[in-house]
């Protein structure tokens, strides 16, 4: 079975992410790559890498989770980042709907790209969950049942980071 990586920030993991993982974990030896693990407690990245992994494991305890740091060197860092993504995960396939990630993987690695199907992206997004938590609105319908309680443990961190 070929090894594939699904990359995301997972701030936090939501129903759309869960559907992608559930769809591809039977077709591939799937690994999840946490992007931007060095970033936390900001409006866009409120959760730490450990917290994000804990949330994901509520739904997918059997899947490897690795961390892939950002380069933060703009275009000059792109080749190193793409190579690191593939090297850290041993992936032959990168599952992504992100145009930049697809371009970098194509230009700087030998990995194949699989264009993921976005599952109702206007509804399921980490941005919307964070917004709702900060506004005191209902958000649980956007998260899979298997990890909603784990996300709830970090509501305060999400509110205070915004």
Euclidean distance between CA atoms 36 and 151, whole angstroms? 18
Q: Would you give the end-to-end CA distance of the chain in angstroms?
A: 41
Nearest to 79 by CA among 109, 120, 54, 48: 109
Question: Angle between the 78-89 and 99-108 helix axes, to the nearest 10 degrees?
Answer: 80
What domains appear along the chain, each with residue ranges and CATH number? 3-161 (3.40.50.620)
pTM: 0.93
pLDDT digits (tens, 9 = 90+) for 127-150: 999 999 999 999 999 999 999 999
- Mean pLDDT of all residues in 109-113: 97
pLDDT digits (tens, 9 = 90+) for 77-99: 889 999 999 999 999 999 998 99
């Amino acid at each position: 079975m070929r090894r594939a990586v699904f990359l995301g920030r997972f701030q936090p993991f939501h129903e759309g992410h869960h559907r992608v993982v559930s769809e591809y974990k039977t077709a591939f030896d799937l690994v999840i790559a946490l992007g931007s693990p060095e970033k936390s407690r900001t409006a866009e990245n409120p959760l730490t890498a450990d917290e994000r992994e804990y949330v994901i494991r509520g739904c997918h305890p059997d899947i490897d989770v690795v961390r892939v740091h950002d380069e933060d060197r703009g275009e000059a860092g792109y080749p190193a980042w793409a190579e690191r993504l593939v090297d850290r995960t041993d992936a032959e396939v990168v599952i992504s709907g992100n145009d930049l990630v697809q371009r970098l993987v194509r230009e700087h690695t030998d990995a194949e790209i699989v264009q993921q199907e976005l599952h109702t992206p206007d509804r399921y997004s980490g941005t919307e969950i964070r917004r709702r938590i900060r506004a005191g609105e209902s958000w649980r319908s956007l998260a899979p049942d298997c990890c909603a309680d784990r996300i709830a443990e970090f509501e305060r961190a999400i509110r205070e980071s915004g």
